[in-house]
Amino acid sequence: MNRNRLFTHDRGPRKFWERALSFVMLTGENCFKVPVFGCQRCGECLLSHTAFICCQRCPKRLRNGPCGGTRDNGHCEVFPERFCVWYRIHRRARFLGRNTLLNSTERIHNWKLEKTSAWLNVFTRRIPPPTLFVKRRRHES
């Protein structure tokens, strides 16, 4: 599946068995992804591309990188007392050597996939599969 397409025309899980399965899997995801990553159940998971910090915790729900309002100390423009999510993502991506994954332009969020199971969506090829391993390159800034 092409990650670089701007949008998808997907109506989300509609058949009965799909919705039932999505519900069951979402419950499973909620038990794991919500406490561990603070998942917001967007259904188009980017976790593997954002160094395992959920980018949807950004108040603007940006999927492509930090907004222009990030403060000098890396705090969020909306909530000055907490770090900008994207600041943390960039820091950790660098630490884990996964910053090449941030290069792609993420497509526009499909709201029909909101509150569906991201794992099932990978399985039914609605969203691209996570990228687990990145080859580390030596000469990279």
- Contact window for another protein (CB under 8 A) among 14-22, 38-46, 73-81, 128-136: 73-81
Candidates 2-10, 12-20, 44-52, 124-132: pick the segment binding ligand SF4 (CB under 6 A).
44-52
User: Which of the listed partners (another protein, ligand SF4, none) does 109 bind, with a CB threshold of 5 to 8 Å by partner kind?
Assistant: another protein
- Residue carrying structure tokens 């419950």: 27
Does residue 71 touch another protein according to CB under 8 A? Answer: yes
With CB under 5 to 8 Å by kind, the binding choice for 52 among ligand SF4, another protein, none is none
Q: Which of residues 99-118 bind ligand SF4 (CB under 6 A)?
A: 118
3-state SS string for the chain: CCCCCCCCCCCCCCCHHHHHHHHHHHHHHHHHHHHHHCCCCCCCCCHHHHCCCCHHHCCCCCCCCCCCCCCCCCECCCCCCCECHHHHHHHHHHHHCCHHHHHCCCCCCCHHHCCCCHHHHHHCCCCCCCCCCCCCCCCCC
Alpha carbons within 13 angstroms on the beta-carbon side of residue 38 total 10
Query: Using CB under 6 A as the criterion, which residues of the chain lie in contact with ligand SF4 when the complex forms?
Result: 33, 37, 39-43, 45-47, 54, 56, 58-60, 62, 66-67, 69-70, 76-78, 84-86, 118
Query: Using CB under 8 A as the criterion, which residues of the chain lie in contact with another protein when the complex forms?
Result: 6-7, 9, 59-72, 74, 77-78, 80, 86-87, 90-91, 94, 99, 102-103, 105-109, 111, 141
